[in-house]
């Protein structure tokens, strides 16, 4: 069993989560060229090692998380609210979305 840390729910089984994808900054579609937009939509780095990814806790708090996960060992070294900066830890007292 693989446990993933949710900032709000604590360590939970990986089956409760949905993998969303590697974190990548979204280019502005109005100003970017087609090749850059295509790369953003279809190409992934797929690294062997540490990767920053977005996950969705679908069977828990139903929030999006940003995790740093080792793709070979599944070790997780950080987990925070998606969209939060690495310096600011997730704050369970300030819900993202807030529609629960």
Question: Does residue 8 bind Zn ion (CB under 5 A)?
Answer: yes
Helix/strand/coil (H, E, C) string of the chain? CCEEEECCCEEEEHHHEEEEEECCCCCCCCCCCHHHHHHHHHCCCCCCCEEEEEEEECCCCCCEEEEEEECCCCCEEEEEECCCCCCCCCCCCCCCCCCC
Using CB under 5 A as the binding rule, whether residue 5 contacts Zn ion is answered as no
**Cβ closer to Zn ion: 13 or 75?**
13
| Residue among 4, 17, 55, 57 that touches Zn ion (CB under 5 A) | 57
| Binding segment toward Zn ion, per CB under 5 A, in 28-36, 43-51, 52-60, 78-86 | 52-60
Q: Which of 50, 60, 68, 71 binds Zn ion (CB under 5 A)?
A: 60
**CA dist., res. 90 & res. 31, Å (int):** 32
With CB under 5 A, what is the number of residues at the site for Zn ion?
Answer: 6
For Zn ion, the closer CB: 25 or 88: 88
**Residues found near Zn ion in the complex (CB under 5 A):** 6, 8-9, 57, 60-61
């Amino acid at each position: 069993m693989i446990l993933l840390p949710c900032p709000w729910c604590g360590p939970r089984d990986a089956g409760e989560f949905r993998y969303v994808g590697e974190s990548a900054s979204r280019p502005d579609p109005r100003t970017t060229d087609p090749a850059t937009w295509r790369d953003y939509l279809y190409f992934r780095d797929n690294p062997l090692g540490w990767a920053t990814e977005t996950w969705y806790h679908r069977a828990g708090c139903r929030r999006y998380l940003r995790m740093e996960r080792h793709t070979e060992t599944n070790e997780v070294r950080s987990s925070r609210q998606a969209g939060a900066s690495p310096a600011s830890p997730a704050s369970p007292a300030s819900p993202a979305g807030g529609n629960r």
